[in-house]
Amino acid sequence: MPEQRILRVAVPAPLHHCFDYLPPADLSADQLVPGVRVRVPFGRGERCGVLLELVTAEESSGRRLKPAGAVLDTVPLFSAADLALLRWAAGYYQHPIGEVFANALPVRLRRGEPQVSVLQKSWTLTALGRQQDPARLGRARKQAEVLALLQESGGSMDQAQILQVCGNCRPALQSLRQKGWIGSDEQPPGELGRAHAPTPSRLNTDQQQAVDAVESECFGAYLLDGVTGSGKTEVYLALVERMLEAGRQTLVLVPEIGLTPQLIRRFERRLGTGLAVLHSGLAAGERERAWHLARLGHAAVVLGTRSALLTPLPRLGLIVVDEEHDLSFKQQDGFRYSARDLAVIRAQRTGCPVLLGSATPSLETLQNARTGRYRHLRLPRRAGDAKPARMDLLDIRSVRMEAGLSPVLMQKLRETLDKGNQALLFINRRGYAPIVTCHACGWVAQCRRCDARMTLHADSRLLWCHHCGSQRRQDTKCPECGDTDLRTLGQGTERVEEVLASCFPEAGIARIDRDTTRRKGSLDQLLNGIRKGKYSLLLGTQMLAKGHHFPDVTLVGILDVDQGLFGADFRAAERMAQLIIQVAGRAGRAEKPGRVLIQTRHPDHPMMQLLVRQGYAAFASEMLAEREAAVFPPFSYQALLRAEAPRESAPREFLEEACSLAETLARGRVELWGPVPAPMERRAGRFRAHLLLQSDQRADLQRLLTPWVRRLATLKSARRVRWSIDVDPQEMF
């Protein structure tokens, strides 16, 4: 048998193939195991790639191969199954393999740095340290703080915990050590399955049936279709406990906004130390440590956002995707994968169950449940005794509005506050006003780099483009005619807050949008204030619509949903309905049933009527019927080729060429729509256009994409544009 000694490496580069290298000179072949990182020469520099496989010299297409630099890991970071999954994903999403691996690695490892230690460092007071009085440390305040903390907590604590309480106190720890007052120790992490799981709460019949329906020993996809507050999280926890007993790991994915400290604490309380949390807010080192704990099988449960899906898990037994309809599971740039869809593939390849939970399942998932590909589990009632909120439409045609608030809604707000309850207002726009215009000549403030209007942010006195982020000082007079009578039209959260503050001066107002929550910890502060009753009016964007329960809210007002009915995107109505139901779900509990008022100029619109009268399931069936008639997803499969360039004609030229290439390759099995300008043609100074591909067979689309995308890179017109391919696109912008 010919010796396999050529290294096939996934190198981060915008190219679809792997690169072959000779083994490093000083290494024996058995030290080369697929899944380790290798440093390789690339172009004029060096890159850090992942060894995928070893091949024979005949199998290698490369001539005059260069030797690889160094092997960076002694044991593989990825198992054979992990490598296969990521290679599959690179193929399916038509994304360069090296970049797919870069997405799967924590950032320091991606850069080729050594692994962080998974040992847990702890600090203990010495006998001398126990006798010290922190007050006598004088100006060394950090040292005093740490010393006091250790004395109060019985003399010993994990470094991570100390850092959490005292901030960065590493120098203080070192000084205390030099004084001989404290000493450190490093322990390996606890074993999987040793985590403590206190008595689970009693499940109701629906919950128990859902738990019992999930077969843990084989692949199966399950839709857990449960209204907000029906106890889906309890079902997840019960299944996690079953996995713990079996010594298997559970991966729980939640939306970006859903990974709240409350949720983490809820899992921690039930699982003790076996939890690893992975999200973008963590420091690189912490995140990498959690990743290793997962990869080594020490973490029983991995709770994370989208990219956690790509974590190696040697004993994976269950995947949960909470709020599976949420858009944040789809990465919108670079490697455009759907963590939800990939979760199903991963479960299938692993041979374990995957549970998709939502109060408003996506039409894709509902259709899979209808055809029997997924099992449909239902939790139709709220847990405990909480009643569902009552929904009504408020006709605002020919009604005098005050900053988007109708008199009826104002009256209901007043009544709610008078009873000592909380009210929540949802408005899907931040800033003060979306339009600034000159009353004399009709000029409108536009972004100079986008086909978009500037939003006025009164807090910062800036005009702000929400599409490219450019900002400029608010004009004092019209740049066209010089008139000073500039006015705003429409409203965002800032303006609604202003009006509420003047109408209800005695009420505490919590505004929750991206501007008020930019600082770390500020969202938690606001949410804590709401829970403690410091605020009685809550106002915000979709950040309010997700994840949080506000049990004292009895009135929900939804200010503006009409654009969803007539949006350019065929998914606009689906998203609007999901948003309405999710916002409505924030309100009410047993003693305090909730009321939801939806302001609309189209109160007779049949889809609105259906949603409000019969609920999401009825709405979704109707939408599915429409999609089927129009042969839109989920009844067909799409891919979107996007191109953009500073020169207006360049994207079109590239897409025309791409289109004729696709025509010859597809032989009529894939429809080609376009090229057309993107809904917002100019953005951040670039002209944008796209070409949509659609087929009623996923396989036909894939058969076209693989050769086509590789050929695109060789087109001359491709060099004049930035282009990307999006398989199963969720948004058409």
Q: Kindly list the residues in this chain that would bind Zn ion in the complex (CB under 5 A).
A: 438, 440-441, 443, 447, 449-450, 465, 467-468, 470, 478, 480-481, 483
Q: If binding is defined by CB under 6 A, does position 207 make contact with ligand ADP?
A: yes
Rounded CA Rg of the chain: 28
CB of 322 to ligand ADP, least distance (A): 7
From residue 85, give the alpha-carbon distance in Å to each of 96, 103, 176, 345. 14, 13, 48, 8
Distances (CA, A) of 513 to 290, 315, 517, 716: 29, 39, 6, 44
In angstroms, the CA 182 to CA 121 distance is 13
With respect to ligand ADP, which residue has the nearer C-beta, 162 or 238?
A: 238
Q: Which does 467 bind (CB under 5 to 8 A by kind): ligand ADP, Zn ion, none?
A: Zn ion
List the single partner that 489 binds among Zn ion, ligand ADP, none, CB under 5 to 8 Å by kind.
none
Cα–Cα dist 627/620, whole Å: 10
- Spatial contact of 251 and 320, defined as CB atoms under 8 Å apart: yes
Contact partner, 483, from ligand ADP, Zn ion, none, Cβ < 5-8 Å per class: Zn ion
If binding is defined by CB under 6 A, does position 321 make contact with ligand ADP? no
Q: Given candidates 232, 292, 683, 686, which one binds ligand ADP under the rule CB under 6 A?
A: 232
Decide: residue 225, CB within 10 A, 0-12 exposed, 13-18 middle, 19+ buried: buried
Concatenated DSSP letters of 225-280: EE-TTSSHHHHHHHHHHHHHHHT-EEEEE--GGG--HHHHHHHHHHHGGGEEEE-T
Stretch that binds ligand ADP, among 224-232, 424-432, 444-452, 456-464 (CB under 6 A): 224-232
Q: In 336-403, which ranges are E strands?
A: 353-358, 375-379, 390-395
Q: Which stretch binds ligand ADP (CB under 6 A): 38-46, 225-233, 453-461, 711-719?
A: 225-233
Q: Which of 76, 96, 229, 431 binds ligand ADP (CB under 6 A)?
A: 229
Number of residues counted as binding ligand ADP (CB under 6 A)? 15
* 145 vs 234 by CB, closer to ligand ADP: 234
* Contact region with ligand ADP (CB under 6 A), list: 120-128, 178-186, 196-204, 298-306: 196-204
Q: Is 696 helix (H, G, I), strand (E, B) or coil?
A: coil
Q: Does 204 bind ligand ADP (CB under 6 A)?
A: yes
Residue 202 binding partner per list ligand ADP, Zn ion, none, with a CB distance cut-off of 5 to 8 Å that depends on partner kind: ligand ADP
Residue 73, burial from CB neighbour count under 10 angstroms (0-12, 13-18, 19+) = middle
Of 247 and 482, the one with the shorter C-beta distance to Zn ion is: 482
Asked if residue 360 binds ligand ADP (CB under 6 A), the reply is no
233 scored as a contact of ligand ADP (CB under 6 A): yes
| Dihedral Cα 348, 88, 730, 671, nearest 10 deg | -110
* Residue linked to tokens 């689309």: 701
20-57: b (≥16 Cβ within 10 Å) or e: bbbbbeeeeeeebebbbbbbbebeeeebbbbbbbbbee
Q: Binder to ligand ADP among 231, 361, 594, 634 (CB under 6 A)?
A: 231
- Which range, of 108-116, 221-229, 298-306, 715-723, touches ligand ADP by CB under 6 A? 221-229
User: Where does this chain touch ligand ADP (CB under 6 A) — which range of 232-240, 515-523, 554-562, 705-713?
Assistant: 232-240
User: Whole-angstrom Cα distance, residue 69 to residue 48?
Assistant: 10
From ligand ADP, Zn ion, none, which one binds at residue 228 (CB under 5 to 8 Å depending on kind)? ligand ADP
- Given the structure tokens 């440590």, which residue do they identify? 289
443 binds, among Zn ion, ligand ADP, none (CB under 5 to 8 A by kind): Zn ion
Stretch that binds ligand ADP, among 153-161, 165-173, 228-236, 633-641 (CB under 6 A): 228-236
With contact defined as beta carbons under 8 Å apart, do 49 and 86 qualify? no
Distance CA 405, CA 628 (A): 37
281 part of the interface to ligand ADP, by CB under 6 A:
no
Binding mask 375-404 for ligand ADP (x = CB under 6 A): --------xx--------------------
d(CA 621, CA 614): 11
- Could you say which of 202, 473, 518, 519 contacts ligand ADP (CB under 6 A)? 202
Subset of 129-158 contacting ligand ADP (CB under 6 A):
none
Contact 720, 643 (CB under 8 A): no
Does the footprint of ligand ADP cover residue 582 (CB under 6 A)? no
d(CA 396, CA 406): 7
Q: Which is nearer to ligand ADP, 228 or 406 (CB)?
A: 228
Q: Which of Zn ion, ligand ADP, none interacts with 60 (beta carbon under 5 to 8 A by kind)? A: none
Residue 240 interacts with, from Zn ion, ligand ADP, none (CB under 5-8 Å by kind): none
Query: Two tokens at 689?
Result: 């256009």
Among residues 137, 162, 172, 203, the one that binds ligand ADP under rule CB under 6 A: 203
Is the bond preceding residue 106 a cis peptide, omega within 30 degrees? Answer: no
Task: Return the one option of Zn ion, ligand ADP, none that residue 459 interacts with (CB less than 5 to 8 A, by type).
Answer: none
Question: What DSSP character marks residue 379?
Answer: E
SS3 content of the chain, % helix, strand, coil (to 5): 35, 25, 40
Binding site partner of 438, from ligand ADP, Zn ion, none, Cβ cut-off 5-8 A by kind = Zn ion
Site for ligand ADP contains 678 (CB under 6 A) = no
**Shortest CB 359 distance to ligand ADP, Å:** 7
Task: Choose among Zn ion, ligand ADP, none what residue 226 binds, the Cβ cut-off being 5 to 8 Å by kind.
Answer: ligand ADP
Is residue 578 involved in binding ligand ADP (CB under 6 A)?
A: no
Which residues here bind ligand ADP, judged by CB under 6 A? 201-204, 207, 226, 228-234, 383-384
